[in-house]
Structure 1
Amino acid sequence: MRQKKKHSIKFARVEGIEVYELTDRERIAELCPDGFVYDLEIENNHNYIANGILVHNCSAFPKPCNSAKTIRERFGHLPQIYLSGTPAIESGSQWFHSFWTSKFSPFNGFKNFYDWSRTYTEPFTKHFGALQVKDYSKSKDDEILAIIEPYLVRFTQKDAGFTSEITEEVIYYPIDAKIKQMVKRLMADLVLEGKEETILGDTAAKLMSKVHQLENGTIIFESGNSMILDTSKAEYIKQYFEGKKIAIFYYFKKEWELLKQVFGDNLTDNLEEFNTTDKHIALQQISGSEGISLKEADVLVYYNSGYSGRQYTQGRDRLTTINRSANHVYFFFDKDGLNAKIYKALKSKKRYNEKLFKKSYKGIINPNCN
């Protein structure tokens, strides 16, 4: 590899080895004839070279980011192994970008994604106010899988010897009556005006976001200022899990301040501090759902969740280790609130979007909301 000027390749010794008993020896023997499976972890950087093979953390894929472009340019002519627990969970359209970094892709006959999409998707138009955007999520999965099947090797956690099970529990926590009234007025009028600040929900996307914020105790005003409105759910979570070490996922930035206000110095957002102290940890769901382990937590708590089925699937698995028998995941929301509707979509491995939002609240949302 070419290195930056005055930099050289560094060699690091293995600091520790953990050996686990295999429960499915026949499957392991089939894939790993020597009987060993190796998991190398590089602190703060998951990219390294082993036996001439570049190992790269592909958490940014399948989105065609700058990292993907660099890999295609420099290593596209080499054999590649793409590892993912959720390669195309929301749409088969994601498969194109997963293979795109390799010049051996079975889709190399297409100039680009848009050319490919004419064959393997059914594009439709989404409206965001006056803006129109093409959506390619309706993929022809059977046709795509028929092409890529020879390139796939499926290996489940059970195949690898994992016996842990994830149990989910929903705790219905009612939204504050004043917040409910604010949400009702916002849906009807698409605007809430105070003495100094304004909440505007004139498009479906903005309205969904504002309702989502309000129901979880915070709000970002039209001015860009933000405010904590209600800490009662966080206080209830703190009391509910008293005596346990918990990991918390939140969604909106202001919710970190809300949680910190309730938990005080017993809450951190630093993984190393969480692993080495008795403190709880709170992470933004998008950044916390991939590439980290929260195994030191007794339970995982969703204070709030986003709209992505992929992040939901990955996030709930953060407690899993090969020697842990059960992972307990909790969701807290009002049974009639927006989070309940989001959760239903996520359980179906779908993305909750503006279309579902408008359908969920048909007859309640002001018809002028586009």
Structure 2
Amino acid sequence: MKIKMLDLNQQYLSLKEDLIEKLNEVMMSTNFILGSNVKKLEDDVAKYSKARYGVGVGNGSDAIHIALQAAGVGEGDEVITSSFTFFATGGAIARANATPVFVDIDPDTFNIDPQKIEEAITNKTKAIIPVHLYGQMADMEVIKEIAEKHNLVVIEDAAQAIGAKRNGKTVGELGTAATYSFFPTKNLGAYGDGGMIVTDNEEVAENARVIRVHGSKPKYHHHVLGYNSRLDELQAAILNVKFPHLEKWSAARRERANYYTQHFNDMLKDIVTTPIEKEGNYHVYHQYTLRVPDRDALQAYLKEQGIATMIYYPIPLHMQPVFSDLGYSDGDLPHAEKAAKEVLSLPMYPELEKEKQDYVIEKIVNFYKK
């Protein structure tokens, strides 16, 4: 049996007619840049996030970068974030001419440890970027309290967590802004790149709109240094077709995650650690990630059995060569470093059949029973 990490073909076939119809409408309109589809998606995603404004941008990485700049973060500022995340988080801070300050994670959720945030605050700290990793929100109530105490900006990196909730609050409600990625593999994925900033702050939203069009307002008048980073009208049209299905897809991901968890806890409870969903959280399982012993050997074995897996992420950001000048050393952030050696993400998507999950479970059990 061959099992992919993600199979988008089934999703496409279920939406094919609607997608082709919507794309044809855009082609016939000849309105390809910042048209009605982008506006509709901005409005819908903002409303879904309990935010007043949505600003579509070119990709999720630009969303973080532009949100930081729009909130006034720049040269000389420090931004505290998790070391255990995709490079875009740290890269966006550096591209905004600020200094990333990496802190350790909660080993249960892989999200940033709020206690470590407070310890890292200096007189140069301007912002915090909590990353809602794998689809579970960080402890935003505590992070918000810390931010208010120290007058800090909070940009939620929600690239993997659209639709996630915590104690009745959704992504986008508790921060200065939240950022999404619509990369094709995301829970709400385009057929190319795309991203969005959502915020309740009118000034941040307006700044972001100006920055995404070369810093131009009005056209050809440039008062700030911006970028060419606009959400494409064709991608927005695709996302508008997909968006009404998001809640159903999130529920299906949770069902499949629970199925994995029940079986692993029954058969390998003392060997593998299944995802821990903190009380009050609604985890949308962008990834289903285990902690396992002999991770690399298990991954090689599963590949032989036709099962795709991924390691998100093998090198924490504080150990990346590009950030070597920040002065971190091996052992500085032990939980992030340990996670990087143990995590393994399994196939996860809404259409994943139980037959395939059973095969994955069987092979992992066989590996450890040997």
Taking structure 1 as the reference length, the TM-score comes to 0.27
Q: Which has the higher contact order (CA 8 A, sep 6+)?
A: 2
Bigger proportion of residues as helix: 2
Taking structure 2 as the reference length, the TM-score comes to 0.27
Structure with the greater alpha carbon radius of gyration: 1
